[in-house]
A and B are shown apart, each in its own frame.
Chain A
């Protein structure tokens, strides 16, 4: 399959941005090990600059040969050892799917607690996402741009309904509890930069404008994050301390006219955004698996990956020992740094050493 020019740069931006939005709306204080959400605005500023640093090696690798993705570069530079790198990337993409799906399950089970079977809901989400992943990057990217437009409208609507509820007394001074919340926020935000390894594998699908896409995604994500934090803290105040999903609580508190509960909008955004996120990460996983196993065996891996996702996402919320490890910010941080910075730097160095040998 020729990768070039299948999707446009704005479509890639919409894919990465929507993934970030979905990750952002599941943001919660217990996982961030913080008590003051407002300090995370400062964390966001620092995380923005850290992400710029991470973007650098990924972009450099892409620039060397725009038709090769990170998986191709691993094989090209490291041959058989590169397969190990590929496995790490494959596990990472699958991990992100499990992470998002398990958070979704926790949200549905603990917050919403509907009458429908959680198993069936998860199964349907995985089924739908696999279908979209099989349809290919074109379909997902085009659908993403439409869904992102609707999601953005919904977010703007919710922001405008929450603005009248802002009470300036709810804002406490920044860094009031010291630097702990600020530091934990940086770790948490950086660990959630799942879009960077995703961009590494998707960039060859666009013709040009990769640098702009990466920087724009980074910038707009953190700006939106800061705006949402300011509004949510202003509207909810100390009520946030008791809530696991503050953004959800903010939408359920928003009201306009006759319509009292706007959390249905949140459910809609979460479901459609989750669908796109899992589809695109599954697609990335398939791309990596194709490199390792070949075209035909990778079809079997689709089926196995779905089963694995289903089991893990349902088990994780139940077994505290596993989930403690799985949701630990340090573990996610290390894994994200590995795939978005360490491995690309190693590839870049190997490439430079190779060039030097050739010159000699």
Chain B
């Protein structure tokens, strides 16, 4: 019994001495990164991080819930060296666990984002739900934000992308989904484009990537068409002109079914979209059927133009049409694996749009009977 006690005591002491707590760095010795930016400067990576500034905090700011942030940058031939330089500059080890945003400059994105995305995804601490954005200016300028009145925090930037949460869910430009898209050779990637214009930030357009390189940006109309095609969007605002009057509508709910069929060896995609929307400022002189058909035509054009732009002009399948082909006709897909891109390019797209309109405004009856 005594020897057992001695043995247990010895083991406990051994455990204490073997403790690796010498290597452990506390939170104050780590740089808590909230935003990451990557640019290409003269063929080298410029890594910028927006991190918590513990040194310059004040008691009042912590009580009010405000964080003091600082931006640190470093340039190096590869990202790992750039990260090391930042650690040397700040004297702290980088902690990516609370990073919520990864901004890649437009020029950098045009050279390819796969290396950048893969590098950050290998860090276990980084959340796979980090939002990846492409900015029209350098990422460093967005994070440092010297021209703006107030420093723009990553939370503010994230909020921009979350406008109408379901919009963002559809685009899925976080790290995990991006990696998933990159691994799918036939699918194009899509992320939100962060625009900085005259001191204001916008996040209204989609950046289109193929083989992880930025090839084009969808403008406002194409973006709307893309959101309609994805089929889960919300809060899309648009307008039509009727009798020289502008009618605005807001789309509440979209549901899209995409089906693929081979008719006489010709690939056809059937896209059925049903939309629920709120219509504003409708005059009593205009008939509801006329308005409805105009809106449906407008939506139809939006989708068609977007598909033409993405598939036909840029050869980039951001809608995952190849997966529909695979699911519907696996044999056909396997046989034509090498030509799937051209098949999708040459396919016919039959678009059908159905709408449910709710007429808003003081002159209109607000009830279910107006449908």
Residues in chain A within 8 A of chain B (CB atoms)? 111-113, 115-117, 119-120, 123-124, 127, 169-173, 176, 236-239, 241-242, 249, 252-253, 255, 260-261
Contact = CB atoms under 8 A, between A and B. Distances in A.
10 contacts: A115-B25, A120-B15, A124-B15, A169-B320, A172-B327, A176-B334, A236-B180, A238-B179, A249-B128, A261-B127
A211 B320 CA distance: 49
Q: Looking at chain B, what size class is its interface with the partner chain?
A: 20 to 34
A135 to B, nearest CB: 14
B323 A115 contact: no
A123 B179 contact: no
A305 to B, nearest CB: 16
Interface in B293-321: 320
A253 B128 contact: yes
Contacts of A255: 129
Contacts, number: 68
A181 to B, nearest CB: 14
Nearest to B327: A173
A37 to B, nearest CB: 13
Contacts of A252: 127-128
Given A112-B124, A239-B183, 6 more contacts: A116-B23, A120-B15, A238-B184, A239-B176, A241-B183, A261-B127
B330 interface: yes
B20 interface: yes
B177 interface: yes
Nearest to A110: B124
Contact of B11 (A127, A169, A170, A238): A127
Interface of B: 11, 15, 18-21, 23-25, 97, 121, 124, 127-129, 176-177, 179-181, 183-184, 320, 323, 326-327, 330, 334
A260 B100 CA distance: 11
Contacts of B323: 169, 172
Nearest to B329: A173
Contact of A117 (B18, B124, B183, B326): B18
Given A113-B124, A173-B327, A120 B19 contact: yes
A260 B129 contact: yes
A78 to B, nearest CB: 36
B220 to A, nearest CB: 26
A239 B176 CA distance: 7
B319 to A, nearest CB: 10
B327 A116 contact: no
Given A111-B124, A117-B19, A261-B127, A239 B330 contact: no
Contacts of B176: 236, 239, 253
Contacts of A119: 18
Nearest to A170: B180
B99 to A, nearest CB: 11
B169 to A, nearest CB: 9
Nearest to B123: A113
> Among the interface residues A112, A169, A239, which one has the most CB atoms of the partner chain B within 10 A?
A239
B20 A173 contact: no
B188 to A, nearest CB: 13
A272 to B, nearest CB: 19
A120 B18 CA distance: 6
B292 to A, nearest CB: 30
